Amino acid sequence: MTTSQEKKLVEFLCTLRQSAAQLIEATNNAFTYALESAPSTNFDQDDQKMVNSWQDELKEAHKRLNENEL
């Protein structure tokens, strides 16, 4: 690849990364809103553990993408 092509590829990958960060943030917000607005969250123990794990994964993904923001 030429230098110009490499630069365009890096810019494209940066744009994809930013898009992924925005999608993860929106998903995390929607997930949190859904939990907070649910009329009842009396999950059984296994379901609660699973839901907590999913929420932790979203928070961690969002945090890690924002840590390395250019």
Between residues 21 and 2, which one has the greater pLDDT? 21
What's the pTM value of the predicted model, to 2 decimals?
A: 0.75
Burial of residue 24 (CB within 10 Å: 0-12, 13-18, 19+) is buried
Q: Would you state the pLDDT for residue 62?
A: 86
pLDDT band at 1, cuts 50/70/90? low
Long-range CB contact pairs, 27-30, < 8 A, 24+: 27/58, 28/55, 28/58, 28/59, 28/61, 28/62
- Going from N- to C-terminal start, the domains of the chain cover 3-67
User: pLDDT tens digit string along 38-66?
Assistant: 887 788 999 999 999 999 999 999 888 88
